[in-house]
Structure 1
Amino acid sequence: MSEKLTERKKMESELKTAIREDQLYLVYQPRFNLRSSKVNAVEALVRWQHPDRGNMMPDQFIPLAEETGLIINLSNWVIHKACSDALEKLPGLSVSVNISPVEFQASDLAERIKQILQDTGLEPTRLEIEVTENVTLSDPEKTCQTMKTLKQMGVRILIDDFGTGYASLSYLRKFHFDGLKLDKSFIFSLGDSQQNQSVVEKIIDLGKAYSMEVTAEGVETADQLSFLKENNCDEVQGYFLGKPVAIKDLNLTLING
């Protein structure tokens, strides 16, 4: 236990340094609109180029950031960088960032985002916030007010990894999400049975019933893409359309085409 505590303290200190010294960087994954047949949004995903441990994925440091309170500084860096990149290098495209449920309780999230938008000059309508269902579980009234403030600014809010959390369907009505991102586990299992296909069809219908744009995550095959098109899914995201890459490596022909 002592060794684990020591390692945790060391990692916490290294993460503080990483935020301060720009060891973090963003990659972007395109989101393809099936109606317009264009990429009109990208998702910003953070990575950590650790000087000793090498390239680290979010699940290796985000939980620590949440537990120690570093998530606020980390998130500020991600949002600021994503907004700057969108303004300077992705004209006309929206950019989405993942926000931890912890942030809705630990800070004035709406005020932070408002300040970042003012600092960077990005139009609020081009920023999207992705949150998991679990954001609705702790102090839902505060969360609802924060989301309302963000939406009044013009920021769009998407519910991420839908179908894997604990929120009840009534929250879809109460929180007025702009979009629903169907978790990739549902897409991976499309070919397993007619029942799995039916579940995906019903979730798409559910999203549309609440006036949300539905995005399917984890699309990796032409068959999956074809099924989602046939069932009126609005957007798709996954390796079949494009992997997360540095902004300079995004397929700009596809995006602008």
Structure 2
Amino acid sequence: MIKAADIALYNAKSSGRGTYKRFDAAMHAELQAHQQVKIALKGALERNEFELHYQPLISLKSRRVTGCEALLRWRSPERGMIAPSDFIPTAEETGLIVPIGKWILDQACRQAASWPEHISIAVNLSPVQFRHRNLVKAVADALSASRLDPARLQLEITESVLLDESEHNRQLLLELRGLGVKIAMDDFGTGYSSLGYLRSFPFDKIKVDQAFVRDLPHGKESLAIVRAVAGLGHSLGMTTTIEGIETEDQLAIVNAEGFHEAQGYIFSRPLPASEVSKLIENPL
């Protein structure tokens, strides 16, 4: 009974505050699966089980690749390819995202250094990485080892990174900016204080979350938000990128609203480095 109560408590905590859970067998099975992922994840980096795939960012003006976003994949010998949503939260919970994140920076910068000079590389930063005292050094080391022009590296952060210790976070952003890298706010519009953050720190890029694209062209509310963000970006001198474009109708709308870049399956799914290099040379 105590073990069951403990499992229910763990599940309730993971669901947020002000809630409770009743124990059931499915909850136990879910916890066991979580523990198995945690155990396997500990040695995955040393066993070279991670790989990076790259999803192109497309200029809406030239229809050419302007950059690529580095996306982590885990190829487990026992379970095959594991979706990021199934292991990234565990990596953050255990703190393993810090060494994994350093590996991503190193690999992504090294790969980008082999691309043409006008192609940038975007790397997502976890809130756990952002709180780690060695983040700036990890970025500087990756740039130095790869000899990549810092201006070609874009660090993407979500609003959750900025929720606590705002002055500390702002200082850290300034230190990163001091390296010469670009800073992008990812998943823009999904939090509560996006506009306030744009006022407190001059981001280089705004990436609109794909949630506002799914019901285009028919969703009037989403269209109004997309239009407002495009205008906001232009007024603030920030590059505007929109994610999740899958249809020609969606593409036509964001193009008409004046977005600079787009990303989505209509152009390309995330690809291994060997395949994405072929896309870089040709307009889409």
TM-score bracket, shorter-length normalisation: over 0.9
Question: For 1:165, what is the secondary structure of its paired residue?
Answer: coil
Confirm or deny: 8 A CA contact 2:60 2:261 kept in the other structure: yes
Q: CA deviation at 1:90?
A: 5.2
2:157 maps to a residue whose letter is V
2:64 maps to a residue whose letter is K
Using the alignment, how far apart are the partners of 1:32 and 1:145 within structure 2?
31
| Structure 1 residue runs without a partner (length 5+) | none
TM-score (norm 2): 0.85
Q: Which has the larger radius of gyration?
A: 2
Q: CA deviation at 1:9?
A: 4.3
| Structure 2 residue runs without a partner (length 5+) | 1-6, 8-27
Q: Partner of 2:155 in structure 1?
A: 129
Confirm or deny: 8 A CA contact 1:134 1:167 kept in the other structure: no
Label 1:174 to 1:246 Cα distance change in 2 as closer, same or farther (>3 A).
same
Confirm or deny: 8 A CA contact 1:31 1:237 kept in the other structure: yes
Q: Partner of 1:155 in structure 2?
A: 181
Label 1:168 to 1:193 Cα distance change in 2 as closer, same or farther (>3 A).
closer
Q: CA deviation at 1:107?
A: 2.8
What does 1:231-250 correspond to in 2, within 5 Å? Answer: 231-250=257-276
Using the alignment, how far apart are the partners of 2:32 and 2:250 within structure 1?
46
Match of 1:103 among 111, 117, 129: 129
Q: CA deviation at 1:121?
A: 1.5
Using the alignment, how far apart are the partners of 2:188 and 2:177 within structure 1?
20
Tell me if 1:28 matches 2:54: yes
Q: Partner of 2:80 in structure 1?
A: 54
**Total equivalences in the alignment:** 257
Q: For 1:45-70, what per-residue CA distance to the aligned partner results, in whole angstroms no more than 9, with x for missing partners?
A: 00000111110111111111111111
1:185 maps to a residue whose letter is A
Label 1:199 to 1:6 Cα distance change in 2 as closer, same or farther (>3 A).
closer
TM-score (norm 1): 0.93
Using the alignment, how far apart are the partners of 1:220 and 1:34 within structure 2?
14
Q: Partner of 1:45 in structure 2?
A: 71
What does 1:60-75 correspond to in 2, within 5 Å? Answer: 60-75=86-101
RMSD: 1.8
